[in-house]
Structure 1
Amino acid sequence: MTTQELAMLYPQHLCELERRAAEALERGGFDHLVVPSGTVHYQVFDDRDYPYVVNPQFKAWLPLTRNPGSWLVITPGKKPRLIYLQPFDYWHVVPQTPEGWWVEHFEIVVIRKWDEALQHLPQSEARCAILGEPQSALGDDATGRFKPNNPPAVLDYLDYHRAFKTPYEVEMMRGASRSGTRAHRAAEAAFRAGKSEFDINLAYAAAARQDASELPYGNIVALNEHGAVLHYTELAREAPDPVRSFLIDAGTSFHGYACDITRTYATDSGGEFQAMIDAVDAAQLKMCDQVRAGTDYTRIHLDAHLAIAGILKDFGISKVAPETALENGISSVFFPHGIGHGIGLQVHDVGGFAESDRGGRIANPDGHPFLRLTRTLAPGMAVTIEPGLYFVDLLLDKLRQGEHADAVDWDRIAQFKPYGGIRIEDEVVCTDGAPLNLTREAFAAGAAEPGAA
């Protein structure tokens, strides 16, 4: 996408955010929405800082992700104000003067010291809904000004509606998907070349052109049995011998928006594990097609369990019907996480359980505590679809000791355990019609580029 295209989409995005802010402030009884960008945190007993992470409520408005000490002030009927910290500093790189497609839509005030923000914030803190972390207050804990109060009525409204992405946000997520799929292709090539987890991760970061602090989450780069650890992030320095399989769950960031992509590969393209990968991939595509307006997301999750249970049956692992495997919990042994989550400004975006924009929670289905989204889908919502099939020692041991131990073939499980597991994950946007699969779209576009692997 070009800067001109973003410039055309951004005003509508900003207008929608202003509309949401006005409604949220009215519900909370406030006059101003005040959003700090966040501050740098220092490690205890040390002078080293943790990597700075921008307040998601801040980057929703504008594509600034590396600017601690700045503030936004949103007052209905007035031009949004950006208080932009550009300090006098010869120890570090000073943020550049703001530029880009969004600048003309803000009143920008440049400050040189962090506490100068007080001169440009609203006079009455009591009339402000201040969204952020406690450390963003101006001053120490005892006397700090503009301490975030995070009013529930305001957050409930904003978090609920953040699930609905504007066309501008979809383009941002598309940009992240494109860089993410490019990096995934580089990681697969490194795997095919026999590299270690550590070296595959380096190849991924190089292709993404992002370091660990810029990536939206710690990459999961798992060879062989490590693929059975759902959040495996150890990055072994030496490759196992032999290498059988590769699971990578990794994303990239684009102007504050994240992608979240998972793929699984086998070294033996004609073997049973590759056939199982293909079966999960085919089932996953059917689940992606369920991302349609009016669909209960928990229904996709439960249907995913039936699909995984069917694959277990087809490969001789489960001895019972898929419905029985779901009912007695066998499917959860092999698929122990949720089918996905909301995504956008955060990898696990907020509002996944929101009953309405006035609060309330839609509970998880019984027996499925790790599902992160329970809402009914509607146009504009962006979600991940990530079914998995794993051979996890801890869960298998519990099954072996339980009443349903005879419902599976333990010899078949032993054959597949050295491969760890399978997960396939795409980002899908719900529309008025067919779903928009940003991940598959990006992989297809990358394959069409000259020189693509």
Structure 2
Amino acid sequence: MTATADFWPLFSDHIRQLRTRSERLFKRENLDLLAIHSGQQKRWFLDDMNYPFRANPHFKAWCPETQLPNAWIILKPDTRPTLVLLSAPDFWHTTASLESEPWLEAFHVEHITSPEAIEKLLPYDKKNAAYLGEHIEVAKALGFENINPDPVLHFFHYHRLFKTDYEIACLTQANHIAAEGHIAAAKAFFNGESEFDCLLKYMAATRQGQNEVPYNHIIGQNKNASVLHHWLPDKQPQTLLKSMLVDAGAEVCGYAADISRTWSAEHNEYEELVAALDQITLALIDKMKPGIEFPFLHQVAHEQIANVLFAFGFVSCSPEQMIEDGITSVFFPHGVGHSLGLQVHDVAAAQADERGTPVPSPTGHLTLKTTRTVEPRQVYTIEPGIYFIEPLLKKLAYSRNKHVVNWKRVDEFRPFGGIRIEDNIVVYRERNDNLTRQTCLDAYAKKVTGLA
């Protein structure tokens, strides 16, 4: 997905900041060259077809065009970055046309006619050079010994947490595109359409196919809303539609939106539970300030969900006891959020510094992907959930805590599957920007629920 024209002044400053980071890395690690490989096509086993191409995220940080197999970014100290493009004649496949792209001004551009020709643009002595990419066999064939060195990866991963204005603009536009998809899927749901048809309406609204988006769209109706990654949408409409959970995003120049919304077919107690979880999401976002440790937000999420489980009559013991006995984890089994950027679950969320010092997960919450302290210009999702997941409920039913659960009440909500509300948040020193609530999605939700 190409960004709008007003992005490119921001892109120029983005590249300037990346170059400043790289210069410091060159000196620290005594490097003369970094070769960042976009990647190459992968063939299906025993077939002549390829998997959809996914560019190396380190390449995407420098290049906004994500469909460039066999391309390279070559970085050298005190030198303009070089973008190497494969320009071989190809009448079998569609190739990206970049001649008039304004962002090319940030690079010295070289063209090669075969993937192997990259060797001519690399130094013979690669003692102080490093390769960043997935294809280890390519790096070795080119003579690299320094392949994906940890100090380099840790450095880039850590600094990727802090977003430039260009990156925030890409994430903002991705949220607006995804919001249009969510509204289209919701309208299809209220018209009684199947999961698959809701998916088609989502893609039509976003103008992004399944191979263009940052992750497979999750659209689950009724009990399927309890499957955290429901990636096989039913093509037949449900006999009686009760609920729908949509976890779906969009991508702009390699940057991801990751939004979840849940809808009730009727005005009922399930819709009230959705509204209660929505308030938890907003309360958690309000607490996400610089200096807050992300595990603290996860703990607060469990406390808030425990209060809701008690208030709705699902569990009769105190919220404190629910958390201590792990009961809240039955209804909320995943982490409260994650960093977001060039990858949906962006890197370095459990990294304390640019040297890669790990920040371990708190005891009992190993699914928490983000464990570091929140800082300004970082982007996170906040996504609490309440689910009625059969295997987890079955395990609880055979545990010593089974007597504190109102199983009749739980049975009333099993057919609805579950609820997740997820927003994308930019943290600043004095405020948070909720990229998701800036879209038309929030106004649509209020209209549907009668709160507008």
Q: TM-score range by the shorter chain?
A: over 0.9
Q: Which amino acid aligns with 1:233?
A: W
Query: In the alignment, what sits opposite 1:46?
Result: 47
1:391 aligns with 2:392: no
Moved more, 347-356 or 10-19: 10-19
Query: In the alignment, what sits opposite 2:230?
Result: 232
Q: Which amino acid aligns with 1:47?
A: D
1:364 aligns with 2:349: no
1:335 aligns with 2:332: yes
Kept in 1: contact 2:188–2:201 (CA 8 A): yes
Kindly state the Cα deviation for residue 7 of structure 1 after the two structures are TM-superposed: 2.2
**1: CA distance between counterparts of 2:147 and 2:100?**
31
Kindly state the Cα deviation for residue 408 of structure 1 after the two structures are TM-superposed: 1.4
Q: SS of 1:247's equivalent?
A: strand
Matching residue within 414, 418, 436 for 1:439: 436
Matching residue within 371, 377, 382 for 1:374: 371
Query: In the alignment, what sits opposite 2:312?
Result: 315
Q: SS of 1:164's equivalent?
A: coil
Kept in 2: contact 1:335–1:387 (CA 8 A): yes
Across the two proteins, how many residue pairs are aligned to each other?
445
Moved more, 366-375 or 107-116: 107-116
Offset from partner CA, 1:393-437 (integer Å, 9 cap, x none): 111111111111112111100001110000000000110111110
Matching residue within 140, 150, 153 for 1:152: 150
Query: In the alignment, what sits opposite 1:20?
Result: 21
Query: In the alignment, what sits opposite 1:164?
Result: 162
- CA-based RMSD of the aligned residues comes to 1.9
Matching residue within 188, 191, 200 for 1:190: 188
Query: In the alignment, what sits opposite 1:74?
Result: 75
Offset from partner CA, 1:167-219 (integer Å, 9 cap, x none): 11000000100100011110001101111011111111111101111011111
Kindly state the Cα deviation for residue 4 of structure 1 after the two structures are TM-superposed: 4.6
Q: SS of 2:438's equivalent?
A: helix
Kept in 2: contact 1:341–1:352 (CA 8 A): yes
Q: Which amino acid aligns with 2:340?
A: I
Query: CA 1:71–1:146 in 2, change beyond 3 Å: closer, same or farther?
Result: farther
**1: CA distance between counterparts of 2:39 and 2:289?**
36
Query: In the alignment, what sits opposite 2:242?
Result: 244
Moved more, 282-291 or 23-32: 23-32
Q: SS of 1:222's equivalent?
A: strand
Query: In the alignment, what sits opposite 1:112?
Result: 113
Q: Which amino acid aligns with 1:22?
A: E
Kept in 2: contact 1:25–1:129 (CA 8 A): no
Query: In the alignment, what sits opposite 2:127?
Result: 126
Offset from partner CA, 1:329-360 (integer Å, 9 cap, x none): 01000000000101110000000110211112
Calculate the TM-score normalised by the size of structure 2: 0.95
**2: CA distance between counterparts of 1:334 and 1:94?**
47
**1: CA distance between counterparts of 2:363 and 2:381?**
21
Kept in 1: contact 2:170–2:255 (CA 8 A): yes
Kept in 2: contact 1:28–1:151 (CA 8 A): no
Kindly state the Cα deviation for residue 447 of structure 1 after the two structures are TM-superposed: 5.9
Structure 2 counterparts to residues 73-92 of structure 1, below 5 A: 73-92=74-93
**2: CA distance between counterparts of 1:272 and 1:391?**
15
Moved more, 184-193 or 86-95: 86-95
**2: CA distance between counterparts of 1:323 and 1:61?**
47
Matching residue within 215, 218, 234 for 1:217: 215
**2: CA distance between counterparts of 1:127 and 1:144?**
14
Offset from partner CA, 1:216-237 (integer Å, 9 cap, x none): 1111100000011111111111
**1: CA distance between counterparts of 2:329 and 2:16?**
44
Kept in 2: contact 1:36–1:136 (CA 8 A): no
Kindly state the Cα deviation for residue 11 of structure 1 after the two structures are TM-superposed: 2.1
Kept in 1: contact 2:10–2:165 (CA 8 A): yes
- Identical amino acids, percent of aligned pairs: 37
Query: In the alignment, what sits opposite 1:295?
Result: 292
**2: CA distance between counterparts of 1:444 and 1:241?**
27
Query: CA 1:135–1:206 in 2, change beyond 3 Å: closer, same or farther?
Result: farther
Q: SS of 1:289's equivalent?
A: helix
**2: CA distance between counterparts of 1:378 and 1:424?**
23
Offset from partner CA, 1:86-116 (integer Å, 9 cap, x none): 2111111233134333211100011221112
Query: CA 1:283–1:120 in 2, change beyond 3 Å: closer, same or farther?
Result: same
Q: Runs of 5+ in structure 2 lacking a partner?
A: 446-451
Offset from partner CA, 1:284-339 (integer Å, 9 cap, x none): 11111122111111111110001111110110001122222111101000000000
Kept in 1: contact 2:112–2:118 (CA 8 A): yes
Calculate the TM-score normalised by the size of structure 1: 0.95
Q: SS of 1:171's equivalent?
A: helix
Query: In the alignment, what sits opposite 2:449?
Result: none
Query: In the alignment, what sits opposite 2:174?
Result: 176
Kept in 2: contact 1:339–1:386 (CA 8 A): yes
Kept in 1: contact 2:183–2:441 (CA 8 A): no
**2: CA distance between counterparts of 1:146 and 1:81?**
18
